[in-house]
């Protein structure tokens, strides 16, 4: 690994990391005049990037009409962004070390704003896909760099609070995106979904240019083969998950090609990372930390469980319950409120030395209980129950996010923070993609199964209010009656499909819960040592 070759940026003395950590004062690794202003700048940029993963979804029908695209073509507006972002994320640490974290953050934010403006100006589907690809590449660096900056510019005693703020932005993005996108599309134009990034991005850029510090530049070798294998595996996985529903999954040769590419790239990349004597793309020190490896797995699980749920609920509320786009956002808002509350509570508990393993178990327990409540929903569920379940799930998310991130970053050296942040963000992104794809497939299949089961019970004796003898005599009336029955069966089957997915999320939350015991106790973790960054 290149960072291994480079070693610590400056010597920390002859004492070991534990002794250095014990002697280190409560000061930030990177000193700035106004850390809170830096937080505002990096959080603004981060929130814009997170919003853009969902804000464009509600504008897709309008884009398709304006750009003259087919349904398959317009789907690439979303796919190109996701694939480009996932492929670029693993390079964040290497590029940051080569040109400096400040320079990379500013350049990537500026490129994100520019590509957003170009997306709003696109005149055809080819231009839109190209500009969305550029937007995905430039936006990929923002999330891990913002997380690293929040840790670097704040002293250790405030880092839990900063992670709470960062996590709130991360969780609020998928909820606020459809609301803002729907409002802009209905009241202005679909192009403003992208133009809104320009003024807010400009504010973030001005703050970062004025205040953002930089980590020291460390020249290190680029692992081209390792990156190529990661890029092939991630690209093939994202394409398989996105295209699977369109081409009937493994009944299509296209999906088999993606699957073979994934297995081949993972195998060759794994052998390369394990056996290579030269520095690879990521430091082996990261994977030597048990807490970091467990946190990596938990981030994937959170992506599967939490973000898949966020993708399921809006269409369910709009199609089955008749909520508007904005109304859906308001109903889901308590989830964000619950996250904010529990993140603040978990931050206080962490600062007081509470066992993070118990906090993670508590978080997954709250999530499992909320999914159990949701599995009891019906088409007649009232809004209060939806709000309560969402609030409870938000409490679980916040209780999970804080200790997982704290454990991960407390167990690695500060010089590895950017690499670690990029891996954790990649894990969460892949988990979300897998979760959304799996739940979508299961939903479609369970709807078909439910429709078949329910329709087999629809007989004349079960529908006393409908005279089936009129079907032959009054064909139009009979067809209308059968259409009404079929529509109701479809609604009930869809509700059953959603309930089955909620059951699945509940069991997944319970199954991963015991792995929290593998996290190290806070007393066994390596505290961030400012000496590693030259202080």
Nearest to 517 by CA among 356, 326, 344, 354: 356
Residue identified by tokens 């003024």 is 199
Nearest to 477 by CA among 17, 469, 74, 52: 469
Which pLDDT value is given to residue 419?
81
Give counts: helices (H), strands (E), the chain.
23, 0
CA distances from 54 to 105, 126, 385, 505 (A): 22, 21, 25, 21
Angle, helices 142-152/125-140, rounded to nearest 10 degrees: 20
| The pair of three-digit structure tokens given for residue 151, joined into one six-digit string | 């840790």
> How far is 329 from 321, CA to CA, in rounded Å?
14
CA distances from 172 to 67, 233, 498 (A): 30, 29, 23
* Domain limits, the chain: 17-214, 223-280, 283-435+505-528
> How far is 213 from 104, CA to CA, in rounded Å?
11
For the segment 5-34, what is each residue's pLDDT rounded down to a tens digit? 333 333 333 334 344 444 456 676 677 778
17-214 and 283-435+505-528, same CATH topology:
yes
CA angle 525, 172, 318 (to 5 degrees): 140
Which pLDDT value is given to residue 72?
66
CA distances from 469 to 337, 424, 453, 479, 485 (A): 55, 63, 24, 12, 16
Helix (H) or strand (E) holding 180: helix 156-187
Residue identified by tokens 């699980």 is 301
Which pLDDT value is given to residue 392?
92
pTM of the entire structure? 0.73
Which pLDDT value is given to residue 479?
61
- The conformation of residue 521, written as its DSSP 8-state character, comes to P
> How far is 273 from 279, CA to CA, in rounded Å?
9
Alpha helices in 352-382 (DSSP H): 356-374
Nearest to 376 by CA among 363, 361, 386, 365: 386
> How far is 157 from 168, CA to CA, in rounded Å?
19
- The conformation of residue 303, written as its DSSP 8-state character, comes to I
| The pair of three-digit structure tokens given for residue 213, joined into one six-digit string | 């510090």
Fold (topology level) of 283-435+505-528:
Growth Hormone; Chain: A; (1.20.1250)
- Cβ-based neighbours of 457, under 8 Å, separated by 6 or more: none
- The conformation of residue 174, written as its DSSP 8-state character, comes to H
Residue identified by tokens 């994934």 is 262
> How far is 491 from 317, CA to CA, in rounded Å?
12
- Cβ-based neighbours of 271, under 8 Å, separated by 6 or more: none
Q: Are 492 and 454 in contact (CB under 8 A)?
A: yes
- Cβ-based neighbours of 447, under 8 Å, separated by 6 or more: 490, 493, 494, 496, 497
- Structurally, at CATH architecture level, domain 17-214 sits in Up-down Bundle (1.20)
Residue identified by tokens 């499909």 is 497
> How far is 108 from 373, CA to CA, in rounded Å?
42
> How far is 94 from 502, CA to CA, in rounded Å?
39
Listed as ranges, residues in the chain with pLDDT below 70 are 1-26, 28-29, 54, 57-58, 71-72, 75, 174-175, 279-280, 325, 457-484, 486, 521-535
- Cβ-based neighbours of 507, under 8 Å, separated by 6 or more: none
Nearest to 196 by CA among 52, 39, 43: 52
Question: How many CA atoms lie less than 13 Å away from 305 in the CB half-sphere?
Answer: 31
């Amino acid at each position: 690994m290149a960072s291994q070759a480079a070693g610590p940026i400056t010597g920390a003395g002859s004492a070991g990391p534990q002794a250095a950590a014990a002697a280190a004062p409560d000061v930030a690794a990177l000193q700035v005049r106004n850390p809170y202003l830096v937080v505002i700048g990096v959080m603004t940029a981060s929130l814009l990037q997170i919003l853009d993963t969902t804000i464009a979804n509600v504008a897709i029908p309008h884009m398709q009409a304006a750009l003259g695209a087919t349904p398959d073509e317009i789907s690439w507006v979303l796919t190109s962004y996701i694939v480009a972002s996932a492929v670029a994320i693993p390079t964040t640490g290497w590029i940051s070390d080569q040109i400096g974290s400040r320079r990379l953050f500013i350049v990537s934010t500026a490129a994100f704003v520019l590509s957003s403006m170009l997306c709003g100006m696109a005149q055809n589907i080819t231009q839109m896909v190209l500009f969305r690809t550029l937007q995905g590449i430039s936006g990929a660096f923002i999330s891990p760099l913002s997380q690293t900056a929040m840790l670097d510019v704040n002293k250790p005693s405030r880092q839990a609070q900063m992670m709470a703020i960062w996590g709130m932005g991360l969780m609020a993005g998928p909820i606020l995106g459809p609301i803002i996108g729907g409002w802009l599309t209905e009241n202005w134009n679909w192009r403003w979904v992208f133009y809104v990034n320009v003024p807010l991005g400009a504010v973030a850029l001005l703050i970062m240019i004025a205040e953002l510090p930089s980590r020291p530049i460390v020249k290190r070798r680029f692992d081209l083969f390792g990156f190529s294998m990661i890029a092939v595996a991630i690209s093939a996985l994202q394409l398989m998950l996105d295209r699977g529903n369109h081409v009937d999954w493994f009944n299509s040769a296209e999906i088999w090609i993606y699957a073979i590419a994934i297995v081949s790239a993972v195998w060759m990349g794994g052998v390369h990372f394990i056996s290579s004597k030269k520095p690879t793309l990521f430091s082996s020190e990261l994977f030597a930390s048990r807490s970091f490896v467990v946190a990596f797995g938990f981030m994937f699980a959170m992506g599967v469980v939490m973000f898949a749920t966020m993708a399921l609920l809006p269409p369910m509320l709009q199609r089955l319950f008749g909520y508007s786009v904005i109304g859906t956002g308001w109903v889901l808002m308590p989830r964000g409120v619950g996250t904010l509350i529990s993140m603040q509570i978990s931050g206080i508990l962490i600062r007081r030395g509470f066992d993070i393993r118990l906090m993670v178990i508590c978080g997954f327990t709250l999530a499992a209980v909320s999914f159990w409540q949701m599995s009891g929903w019906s088409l007649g569920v009232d809004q209060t129950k939806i709000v309560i379940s969402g609030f409870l799930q938000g409490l679980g998310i916040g209780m999970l996010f804080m200790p997982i991130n704290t454990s991960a970053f407390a167990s690695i050296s500060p010089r590895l923070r950017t690499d670690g942040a990029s891996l954790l963000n990649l894990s969460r992104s892949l988990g979300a993609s897998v979760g959304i794809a799996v739940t979508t497939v299961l939903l479609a299949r369970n709807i078909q199964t439910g429709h078949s089961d329910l329709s087999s019970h629809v007989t004349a004796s079960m529908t006393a209010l409908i005279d089936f003898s009129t079907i032959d005599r009054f064909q139009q009336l009979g067809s209308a009656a059968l259409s009404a029955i079929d529509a109701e069966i479809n609604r009930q089957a869809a509700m059953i499909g959603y309930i089955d997915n909620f059951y699945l999320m509940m069991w997944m939350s319970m199954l991963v819960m015991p792995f929290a015991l593998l996290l190290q106790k806070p007393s066994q973790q390596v505290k961030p040592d400012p000496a590693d960054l030259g202080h």
